[in-house]
Structure 1
């Protein structure tokens, strides 16, 4: 039996980068970006790039309530980016 294929099973995987944190000693988030991008490219799946976009926002740290977890404001930004990209993916399937 061949390797499991999400697409063959009618599934469309989507990967999403984590948001940055202002407490880098907890987890080295930048280290996840490269392998995640490589996997997305190898598998031909959508990668929602959140990390650098959020870093580009002024005062992004204020949208983390404990330097790790997003506030409602950051979740709203992330959700809009997810919705835009997944909507485009769905439209491409028609």
Structure 2
């Protein structure tokens, strides 16, 4: 069995908003859709998925950890996470981050440095890192997010890290803005698209269970 932990911000959680400002977790969020598709292919017992998304988190929070705020939970450092039984049992970690970095104006240089340190930590513990570009946003900081997703793609190419390219696929869709629930969060329909993209990348990392005859 492959144990997958999904790391990132509120879009990792699957947060979406309905008319009237009712927040909920989209039933076909990225993790749920990808897990369903992979289990359909490889079998129910082939993978186990856990959602560690943290609302309002940025890349520094995932590497160095941070104190709790009114909008963000207490976050242990990645090194601390790796000492826990949950992360010791992890096979694959999927990291989708960047939206909050874009709105906080994290530089591409700093963002790239944190990506490299996260990769080093994964390698030290014998875990597989998968990196995902975030979905685009209806926000003035979209150009900054565009630069960050280029940095993610460059990082994935340079270090041969498996990549899920949400940004590149969604930004090419003429109607992508109509598939957003608000400025940063997808609708359930767009989350299902993200889940299918994630499953395509993860497919090559999941070994089918041998048949016993």
Q: TM-score, normalization: structure 2?
A: 0.38
| 1:66 maps to 2:182 | yes
Q: Which has the higher strand share?
A: 2
The reply on whether 1:21 has 2:128 as its aligned counterpart is no
Where do 5+ consecutive residues of structure 2 fail to align?
A: 1-116, 208-213
Deviation for aligned residue 1:5: 5.6
Contact 2:163 2:201 in 1 (8 A): no
> Partners of 2:203 and 2:149 in 1: how far apart?
23
Once the two structures are TM-superposed, the CA of residue 41 in structure 1 deviates from its matched residue by 2.2
Q: Deviations over 1:26-50 (max 9, x none)?
A: 4521011221122212322111111
Residue 47 of structure 1 pairs with residue 163 of structure 2: yes
Secondary structure at 2:204 match in 1: helix
Rounded to whole Å, the distance in 2 between the matches of 1:52 and 1:26 is 17
Which residue of structure 2 aligns with residue 57 of structure 1? 173
Moved over 6 A (4+): none
1:81 lines up with 2:194 in the alignment: no
Q: Displacement of 1:78 after TM fit?
A: 0.1
Which deviates further from its counterpart, 37-46 or 59-68? 37-46
Mark the runs of 5 or more structure 1 residues left unpaired by the alignment.
none
Q: CA RMSD in A?
A: 2.0
**CA radius of gyration, larger in:** 2
Distance in 2 (CA, whole Å) between partners of 1:86 and 1:63 is 24
